[in-house]
A and B are shown apart, each in its own frame.
Chain A
Amino acid sequence: MANHDEDAIQDAGEEALREPEGASEIIETDYEIGQDNITPKIGPFGLDIHNPVFAISGIVVVAFVIVTLAFQDQVGPALGAMRAFLTSSFDWFFLMAGNIFVLVCLGILVSPLGKVRIGGVDATPDYSYLGWFSMLFAAGMGIGLMFFGVLEPAYYFATPWGDQPLSRDLGIVDGVLMDPAAVEAARLTAMAGTIYHWGLHPWAIYAVVALSLALFAYNKGLPLTVRSIFYPIFGERIWGWPGHIIDILAVFATLFGLATSLGFGAQQASAGIGYVFGIEGINDTVTFSVILIAGITGLALISVLRGLDGGVKRLSELNMILAIILLCFVIIVGPTMLLVSQFFGNVGAYFSEIFALSNPIGRDDDGYRQGWTAFYWAWWISWSPFVGMFIARVSRGRTVREFLTCVLLIPTIVSAIWMTAFGGTAIDQMINHVTDSAVFGFVIDSYVPELSLFGMLSELPLASITSVVGIVLVIVFFVTSSDSGSLVIDTITAGGKINAPVSQRIFWVIFEGLVAAALLLGGGLVALQAASVSTGLPFAIVLLFACYALVKGLMDEPR
């Protein structure tokens, strides 16, 4: 044991005791990081928090939860209506903004700006490719791939609600399978429409935020907090209220995004446990979901206490391995050759349909464009401060080109592989068994989206084992999200300090669990999801300015 500890310490030492790095273009400012912080002591716990940001974020969160619980009959429908209004009235704006983010990222990738290195010209990467990529995926969309991998392709293939991509023909209509040519066309459209939502566009949104944060912190020397991105626009005023508001909005979006996801995730996991172990009614009792939230929060707490390297990184690597095993299993025991051949066809369909799918005007597929795409774009954008900040934190030492390749291109390919395997197998099951397939039952017949993955796995061998692996993956992805989310919120509310007392991070991780549990018990998760998605619109505008700041910041850097 002692030797083991020494080895671990030695490893940490080799990693930690690196040589410092070379030049970058530091921004001269009179602002001293932490100058607005206060250091109160609560019992034995010392705190180091940004004065208005921490207090206002905490008060706003508590007030919002109380109001949502007390007036859920009024607040829920109002927020739901606001979300519907935003996605139906501003769908063109979300789609256009998404396209701009992709173009900016691709432009930087192929331009000489791609040579800039995050952290200065001689900086060395903080993490290996495996550790880095695992964390990128765990933070970015791990949980979403589990939830939507089967649901979305199967849904678009046979939706009876008229919200398929580009209003194309379906593969199954009224429970009847169409002719082979129509089925193949519907399958390709379903896969292209799905990969579009999990490909270049969402990752470009994350990449813009992450790259901007990393650039302004590691190369420009500004605090690692969201407001720093806007220094080129606001100048020194960013240290005042404009900056406070940006940071508070970021905390708000992160905490509510995480709390609602934690709540829904607990419901999904409990539904999965009920289905796999045949426990009737477990899905209907919030008690079990609250116990799951407590368990996930407890695991996240342990992960927090083990730090970034010992906690999030290791869990992300574990999840990456489990996800690869599950993926390989589905490919091998599923229709292997079919999936392999479909992969290239799906990617081809994605690229050939991307212009039609991303066109913001003159379309008649309102259900898909507004109900799915605009909602997704708002959701990705509202999550971008959290995911972007976490990605920034672990990306020091990479060149911009390397960063964009690994944050934009590779995840798109991985998403395409994942969707091909899970969605392709599900659609194959629907083609072979039509209305008798479990996927058709859960996605089309009686809409139970949280069981779609388990439905697909139930028709493959070793379903009881793979379903448990699926549940473990969902839970561990939530642990990593909860841990990395509290890391991000803590950094923002500490004014960009990354060495604030651990007790603050513990406070946020517990607070997150409490907000999720309170909303699950009192109702209001859907309202909160609507609220956090609604932050997508102001953030989309903010991110367009961030694109300008990013390009300007990169142009000043030595290459």
Chain B
Amino acid sequence: MYRKVIFPVDLTHIDQLTRALQTAIDLALHYKAEICFVGVSGTAPSALARTPQEYESKLAGFADEQGKAHGLKSSAKACISHDPSIDTDKTLLAAIAELGGDLVVMQTHTPQALDYIWAGHGDTIAVHSKASVFLVR
């Protein structure tokens, strides 16, 4: 039913993504789909990577590691944003459309009052993406 699962990933908080990651892997295995890890980074150095090349290499390494560990076809897409604090959702939506993902699995927080005026990343992707979106609390 699904050919490409997109998993938006923030490599700095990978320890908090365990449930969502397992869900994405299980769904990809079940539907024999490819899993693509999409990350958004700025151009300035960060704790994770000091250059965009290093960021891309780390994301590719993570995707490769997950693919081998679970016997899945995996890939990575590193997106560079001018202003990741604001443009992450827009960049992810563009990447999902470009990659042709038909299922997005992503981690999100439990609902809170602030979501009414300031939606989380998962909420925005679910509202605007043409792909099916599975949000994991």
Q: Assess whether A188 is interfacial by the CB under 8 Å rule.
A: no
> Can you report 28 residue pairs joining A to B where beta carbons are below 8 Å apart?
A12-B94, A13-B93, A13-B95, A16-B81, A16-B91, A17-B94, A17-B95, A20-B78, A20-B80, A21-B53, A34-B46, A44-B112, A126-B43, A221-B51, A223-B44, A307-B82, A308-B86, A309-B82, A310-B86, A310-B87, A394-B82, A496-B45, A497-B47, A498-B83, A498-B84, A499-B42, A499-B46, A502-B86
Restricting to B36-78, which residues have a CB under 8 Å from any CB of A?
40-47, 50-53, 55-56, 77-78
List of A residues within 8 angstroms of B94 by Cβ: 9-10, 12-14, 16-17
Contact of B83 among A9, A222, A307 (CB under 8 A): A307
Known: A17-B79, A20-B52, A20-B56. 15 other contacts (CB 8 A): A13-B93, A15-B82, A16-B82, A17-B77, A20-B78, A35-B47, A45-B114, A218-B44, A221-B45, A222-B50, A306-B86, A307-B83, A308-B87, A393-B44, A498-B44
B positions within 8 Å CB-CB of A: 40-47, 50-53, 55-56, 77-88, 90-91, 93-95, 97-98, 112-114, 128
List of A residues within 8 angstroms of B40 by Cβ: 16
Restricting to A13-49, which residues have a CB under 8 Å from any CB of B?
13-18, 20-22, 24, 26, 32-35, 44-45
Contact of B50 among A5, A26, A498 (CB under 8 A): A26
Cα separation A493 to B88 with both chains bound (whole Å): 21
List of A residues within 8 angstroms of B81 by Cβ: 16
List of A residues within 8 angstroms of B80 by Cβ: 16-18, 20
Residue in B closest to A221 when the chains form the complex, CB atoms: B50
- Given A217-B45, A222-B45, A224-B45, A126 contacting B82 (CB threshold 8 A): yes
Residue in A closest to B99 when the chains form the complex, CB atoms: A17
Question: Are A33 and B78 closer than 8 Å at their CB atoms?
Answer: no
List of A residues within 8 angstroms of B95 by Cβ: 13, 16-17
Cα separation A33 to B42 with both chains bound (whole Å): 13
Residue in A closest to B130 when the chains form the complex, CB atoms: A6
Would you give the 0/1 interface string for A489-526, flagging 1 where the beta carbon is closer than 8 Å to chain B? 00000001111111001000000000000000000000
List of A residues within 8 angstroms of B56 by Cβ: 20
List of B residues within 8 angstroms of A119 by Cβ: 43
Question: Are B47 and A32 closer than 8 Å at their CB atoms?
Answer: yes
Total count of chain A residues near the partner, CB < 8 A: 49
Interface secondary structure of A, over-half rule: loop
Q: Assess whether A305 is interfacial by the CB under 8 Å rule.
A: yes
Question: Are A501 and B85 closer than 8 Å at their CB atoms?
Answer: yes
Question: Are B85 and A17 closer than 8 Å at their CB atoms?
Answer: no
Query: Within the complex, what minimum Cβ distance (angstroms) separates A383 from chain B?
Result: 21
Query: Within the complex, what minimum Cβ distance (angstroms) separates A199 from chain B?
Result: 30
- Given A5-B128, A497-B46, A499-B46, A12 contacting B87 (CB threshold 8 A): yes
- Given A12-B94, A17-B77, A502 contacting B44 (CB threshold 8 A): no
Query: Within the complex, what minimum Cβ distance (angstroms) separates A19 from chain B?
Result: 9
Cα separation A480 to B4 with both chains bound (whole Å): 41
List of B residues within 8 angstroms of A306 by Cβ: 86
Question: Are A500 and B86 closer than 8 Å at their CB atoms?
Answer: no
Question: Are A44 and B114 closer than 8 Å at their CB atoms?
Answer: yes
Question: Are A16 and B79 closer than 8 Å at their CB atoms?
Answer: yes
Cα separation A6 to B130 with both chains bound (whole Å): 11
List of B residues within 8 angstroms of A396 by Cβ: 43
Question: Are B45 and A10 closer than 8 Å at their CB atoms?
Answer: no
List of A residues within 8 angstroms of B88 by Cβ: 499
List of A residues within 8 angstroms of B41 by Cβ: 499
Restricting to A292-343, which residues have a CB under 8 Å from any CB of B?
305-310
